[in-house]
Structure formats: C-alpha cells, structure tokens
Chain A
C-alpha cells in the first residue's frame, strides 16, 4: 500500500491495519495522551480525600499507600455547610440551565431568520435608535431620571423620529451587517462591560438575583448561538423548506418539522458549549451576586480567600461535584451529534 504523507495525516488508516511496531507506538502515544488528560481529574479526586497535612507535606499520589484518605472535606461541605453548598449548586443549575435554554431557543430562531429572511433596515434609523438610547442612558445615569420614564420617553422619541425621517435615509444594512453586529458583542472583553452591566442592574434593583445573571448570560451567549447555528441552517438545502411550504406547512411548521430535526447535531453541540460557558462563568457572577445568587465558581474562588489559606481539599470536592452535571449533559447530547443527517435529501 503506497500512501503519501498527506494521506496518512488526513485519512489515517485504522489502527487494526497497522504493522505491529507502528501499532505499539500509536498505542503508547494514545496511552500517554489519555494519562495527560485524565491526570488532573485524578489529582483533584484524591486531593478531595486528603487532609491538610497530606497536601502541605509534599506530593502524595496513591490513596491507602501514600496517605490515608479521609472524608473531612466532604463532611465539611455536605454536612456542616450543607445549605450553603446546596444553594450555590442550585443557583448554578438554575442559572446555567435557564440561560442555556433561553439563548439556544432565542438564538436559533434569530439565526434561522437571518439565514432565510432578508432584512434591510435603514442605516439612519438604526443610528437614530442608538443615539436615542444613549440619551436615555445618560438621562438615567447623569441626571437621575427614573429608568422606566427614560426608556418610555426614549422609545416614543425614536418612534416619532423614525416615522418622520425614516423615509429619507437611503443607505440600508443587510443580514451580513446584523450578523457582524451580533458577533461584535463578543469582541469587548467582559471586564470592560461588567461595570455598566452592574450599574444597570443596580438601577433596576436586580443585583444578586437569578434573573439578573440569567439575562446577562443569555445576552453574552446569544452571539455564539447565532453564529454557530447560522452555519448549520444555511447548510440545509432550501429545496427542503420550499417543498415543506408547498406541502402545506407554515413558516413555523417548516422550522419545527424540517429545520430543527436536521440541525439537531448543531443544536446539541451549541447547547453543550453554551451550557459549559454559563456553568463555568466567574467574572460576571462575581459582580452580579453577593450572597443569595452566588454560583459554584464563586464558591470555588472563595476557597482560596479564607483566613486558613487555600483550602485545596474543599476546592477539590466542589470541582468534582461541578464536573458531574456537565458530564451528564455531554453524555445525553452526544447521541444527537452525528454525521450524515442530510444524506439522501437532494441529489446533484
């Protein structure tokens, strides 16, 4: 069998077909990589059973051999601090699941609309809207106007301006512009926007609530969902959707019966990604929650800020229980991530 180096790289032969020597090397590399990936998890797992002395007196590797495992860290978190731990855990679950659901549902619909409908908003009108909103924001922040009043007046002014002047603007934006505007939301580092977001939620007295964090996570995840799903939606042959329309389906029926089942790979992958991002998010949660709405990452961070120094053992326990839901979700969603969903749809 004569294969070029490129073929070897991009169409690797099955391990079963390899010569014994090659097979050995491949297995060695794979074993090394597996160990490399799994070792941190192993380390966290044994650390959670270590006592302070075992951690501080230098590395020990094997439970029952190097050190005597104890349940003290587990006890501390799940017996003495049970309610604090449970609250953070529930907060994390509620916030991550709600934010994921909201951003995937809203984002995939927005993305489908961008993939299949043509939008041509007038540039001038969009610009006017931004100006009016800046005005409203300044009124609240600088002059202490009530935010509800400011928003209502802003919207009213925009409405009449758009009605009066809208027709005179020639330049129009397209779907590409909207798509880019979406992703531009993610260009700024979160640390830059965290103070304005904090101020906003302070104004509406929603600090330290689930809803504030869910809203924020939904908004920062939307661009990711929209961009990822856009690609999946545009790869579905338009013929299928037109055919469904002729078969009698409504626009929403087409989305539900045809588009969603065919993009479920993308949906599953996107959901998982967004879930992981929301589950692990730290910076915004740090600003937006103080006690009642604290999430797990905040709890982890709190472990190294106590007066007793860094509590590696407690931190390990929290990390382990944090891994579990994501693994469960990944296992569930992985079944839907498959190749070749579109096979047989169209020919040529």
Chain B
C-alpha cells in the first residue's frame, strides 16, 4: 500500500522539527528515513503512526486520508526500538494481542500465532515471558507481533539498534529477506547509514527537519544533491577541500585543478571519495598533500593526508608505505570530482 506525505510539518511550541516534508512511498517499497538524532526522522514516523499530531499538511495511507485518524484505524504496525513487549503476557499472548483485540476466535488466533512464530523461528519460545528471552529473541517477538495481522504498512523505529554488532548484521539480512517475501510497504527509521544503504529501496535523508535527498542508495552515494548528503553517506565520509572556483578551475593553495566546467564561485568545496583517489609522487598528483597517518586496515591501507587545513582519507593498496609528514600527491579522475557551493551547500553541476 502506498503512503503519501504531503507537506507534512510538525512544531513543538515554537520549535519547528519538521519542515513541509513531502514524500511518496510505493506499494511494497522499503523506504528508510535516515538522519542524525534531532533530524525529525522519528517524529515523521510517529506522525505516520498517529502517535504524534500533525501541525500542517496531510498524510494518506493507501489512498485514504488518515491525518486525523487514531493510530488503531490506520492499519499500520510498528516495531519499537525498545521492542515494547508486554511483560505480563507470554510470547504467544504478545503476538496474539492484535488479533485478540480484533475478536478473532481462539483457535484462529492460535494457528496464526504459530504460523508467524515459525516464520521468525521463535515457535519454541511461545510459552515464555519476555524477561526470559535474549535481545535477539525479543526482537523477533516484536517483529512477529507486527506481522501477525498483515498490516498495510510496517513502521520500524531503529529496530536493530539495541542488538550487538554481530546479531545486528544477521537480523539486517533477515529483515531484508522477510520484507521481500511479505512484500509489505515498510518505512524504517535509522541513524545508521549502513543499515539504510543495505536495506532500502530508497533512502530519504533528513537533516534539521528538512528532506535533503530522496533516492535509491546507489544514487544517493554516487550523485549526492548537496554537501550534507555527500558527507553523511559513505565510510569514511567523502573528503572535502576548501578553495575557490575560477572559471572552472578549482584553486586550492598553489594547486590548480581543472574541473571541466566554467563556473566561478568564491567559496567552493571539492569532494572526493576515498576510493576514487590514488596516492602518487608529489609532482604527479593533481593536488599536493602532506601525509598525516597511514593505517593498515586489512584489504587496504587508509591514508590520512592534509591538504592545507583539510584532512582527507585515501584508500591505498595494502602494500602502501610512507613516512609521516612526507609530501605526497593525490591523483583522481576528473569525473569523480564533486563540486559544492560552500555557502549554500548546494551541488555545483558542471555545465
């Protein structure tokens, strides 16, 4: 089912936490709302769930305007970061609760609970209480409770952030597989860009209550709309160096880099992904830099270098060796270069 947000905004008193957010979630899509804390992503999710009132704009789910509907009338299920399992109910009662409220008869509830429990592989635990479960098992129970009534939309609020790193990776794969199997529209909130990139069909990156970019993970990585998106996505984040753009030539210190464009911007920023750079001899590189540190990660060496005041990271082959403070050159292909206006953060697309 589709979810449409039309210029939805939210204010708490005088503080505006969400500015006219508009987005459209397709049927069966896995959309991730990504952002740092305070970006408004959780507020947006809670507004879709109906747990937070809407200050402006409309929300509709499968074509029906639900802006003023109670949460229970929206046909959405939510998985909370804290799992929110009912501690006085057994696992089976927890999962069956949404069905019990809908007055399904006992045998029907039982069979559906069993079916869903088997899907998330907790059928052994049905008689236990939440306090007797591990974090990963609680997570599965919360998921099963959301799945059992086949909602139009799944809402997930950082569901994996309470798990340890190993389990998180495993659950991430399971979530992705399950969402594919069930084909239920899912809106997923996270601050973790890896989760966003791996799970999402499309990522909506929020910052300061504003939508920065809404695109597929590949697009958001390769074609960021602005400096914020460029620096938020990627590990390590995109390298930036400050300088000026003089009729298409980027001037930084004594180095001049032809960008292939013709723009002139007084305060400009170039962006480069760590994997798009090579470390070369100082006289061969487009930009000269000073080596700050090099760390062998395993399959590559992460070289940190200083361009003027800016620190940049470069992924070099694992055989790379050089001394700290040595002068190096950085080489890259021209079309891997991103240009931004430093004052507005907007991307400068070369004409």
- Cβ contacts under 8 Å, A240 to chain B: 84, 86
Which one, B78, B84, B129, B131, contacts A237 given CB within 8 A?
Answer: B84
Cβ–Cβ contact B138 & A242, under 8 A: no
Per-position 1/0 for B145-178, Cβ under 8 A of A: 1000100000000000010000000000000000
Scan residues 318-348 of chain A and give those whose CB is less than 8 A from a CB of chain B. 340-348
- Cβ contacts under 8 Å, B131 to chain A: 340, 343-344
- Cβ contacts under 8 Å, B224 to chain A: none
Cβ–Cβ contact A248 & B84, under 8 A: no
Which one, B51, B84, B101, B132, contacts A346 given CB within 8 A?
Answer: B84
- Cβ contacts under 8 Å, B84 to chain A: 237, 239-240, 242-243, 345-346
Q: Beyond A246-B77, A249-B72, is A347–B88 a contact (Cβ under 8 Å)?
A: no
For B87, B131, B145, the residue with the greatest tally of chain A CB atoms inside 10 Å of its CB is B87
Q: Does B56 lie at the interface of the complex (its beta carbon under 8 Å from any beta carbon of A)?
A: no
- Complexed CA–CA distance, A108 and B84 (Å): 23
Q: Beyond A344-B132, A347-B135, is A262–B87 a contact (Cβ under 8 Å)?
A: yes
Q: Does A121 lie at the interface of the complex (its beta carbon under 8 Å from any beta carbon of B)?
A: no
* Chain B: minimal CB distance from A219 (Å): 32
Q: Does A63 lie at the interface of the complex (its beta carbon under 8 Å from any beta carbon of B)?
A: no
Q: Does A176 lie at the interface of the complex (its beta carbon under 8 Å from any beta carbon of B)?
A: no
- Complexed CA–CA distance, A344 and B86 (Å): 8
Which one, A249, A258, A344, contacts B129 given CB within 8 A?
Answer: A344
- Complexed CA–CA distance, A244 and B146 (Å): 11
Cβ–Cβ contact A237 & B82, under 8 A: yes
- Cβ contacts under 8 Å, A242 to chain B: 49, 51, 71, 78, 80, 84
- Cβ contacts under 8 Å, B80 to chain A: 239, 242-243, 346
Cβ–Cβ contact B82 & A258, under 8 A: no
Which one, A244, A245, A257, A347, contacts B82 given CB within 8 A?
Answer: A347
* Chain A: minimal CB distance from B141 (Å): 10
Interface residues on B, range: 20 to 34
Cβ–Cβ contact A246 & B76, under 8 A: yes
- Cβ contacts under 8 Å, B85 to chain A: 344-346
Q: Does A247 lie at the interface of the complex (its beta carbon under 8 Å from any beta carbon of B)?
A: yes
Q: Does B317 lie at the interface of the complex (its beta carbon under 8 Å from any beta carbon of A)?
A: no
Q: Does A141 lie at the interface of the complex (its beta carbon under 8 Å from any beta carbon of B)?
A: no
Cβ–Cβ contact A246 & B78, under 8 A: yes
- Cβ contacts under 8 Å, A245 to chain B: 50-51, 70-72
- Measured CB to CB, the nearest residue on chain A to B130 is A344
Q: Does A190 lie at the interface of the complex (its beta carbon under 8 Å from any beta carbon of B)?
A: no
For A240, A246, A340, A347, the residue with the greatest tally of chain B CB atoms inside 10 Å of its CB is A246
- Cβ contacts under 8 Å, A248 to chain B: 72, 98, 101-102, 149
Q: Does A253 lie at the interface of the complex (its beta carbon under 8 Å from any beta carbon of B)?
A: yes
- Measured CB to CB, the nearest residue on chain A to B102 is A248
- Cβ contacts under 8 Å, A203 to chain B: none
Q: Beyond A243-B78, A246-B72, A261-B88, is A347–B49 a contact (Cβ under 8 Å)?
A: no
Which one, B49, B87, B102, contacts A246 given CB within 8 A?
Answer: B49
Q: Does A250 lie at the interface of the complex (its beta carbon under 8 Å from any beta carbon of B)?
A: yes
Cβ–Cβ contact B88 & A247, under 8 A: no
Q: Does B97 lie at the interface of the complex (its beta carbon under 8 Å from any beta carbon of A)?
A: yes
Which one, A247, A250, A340, contacts B97 given CB within 8 A?
Answer: A247
Q: Does B133 lie at the interface of the complex (its beta carbon under 8 Å from any beta carbon of A)?
A: yes
Cβ–Cβ contact A344 & B87, under 8 A: yes
* Chain B: minimal CB distance from A115 (Å): 17
Cβ–Cβ contact B133 & A344, under 8 A: yes
* Chain A: minimal CB distance from B83 (Å): 6
- Cβ contacts under 8 Å, A253 to chain B: 101
Q: Beyond A244-B97, A341-B87, A344-B138, is A250–B82 a contact (Cβ under 8 Å)?
A: no
- Complexed CA–CA distance, A257 and B97 (Å): 10
- Complexed CA–CA distance, A247 and B50 (Å): 12
* Chain A: minimal CB distance from B61 (Å): 13
Scan residues 107-162 of chain B and give those whose CB is less than 8 A from a CB of chain A. 129-133, 135, 138, 145, 149, 162
- Measured CB to CB, the nearest residue on chain B to A342 is B87
Cβ–Cβ contact B83 & A346, under 8 A: yes
Scan residues 259-275 of chain B and give those whose CB is less than 8 A from a CB of chain A. none
- Cβ contacts under 8 Å, A348 to chain B: 81-82, 162
For A247, A258, A261, A345, the residue with the greatest tally of chain B CB atoms inside 10 Å of its CB is A247
- Measured CB to CB, the nearest residue on chain B to A251 is B70
For A239, A340, A348, the residue with the greatest tally of chain B CB atoms inside 10 Å of its CB is A239
- Complexed CA–CA distance, A101 and B87 (Å): 27
Cβ–Cβ contact A347 & B162, under 8 A: yes
Cβ–Cβ contact A347 & B98, under 8 A: no
- Measured CB to CB, the nearest residue on chain A to B76 is A246
Per-position 1/0 for A179-223, Cβ under 8 A of B: 000000000000000000000000000000000000000000000
Residue positions of A touching B, CB distance < 8 A: 237, 239-240, 242-250, 253, 257-258, 261-262, 340-348
Nearest 3 pairs of A and B residues by beta carbon:
A344-B131, A344-B130, A346-B82
Residue positions of B touching A, CB distance < 8 A: 49-51, 70-72, 76-78, 80-88, 97-98, 101-102, 129-133, 135, 138, 145, 149, 162
List 8 A-B residue pairs with CB atoms under 8 Å apart, sorted by A's residue number. Answer: A237-B82, A240-B84, A243-B80, A246-B49, A248-B149, A262-B88, A346-B82, A348-B81
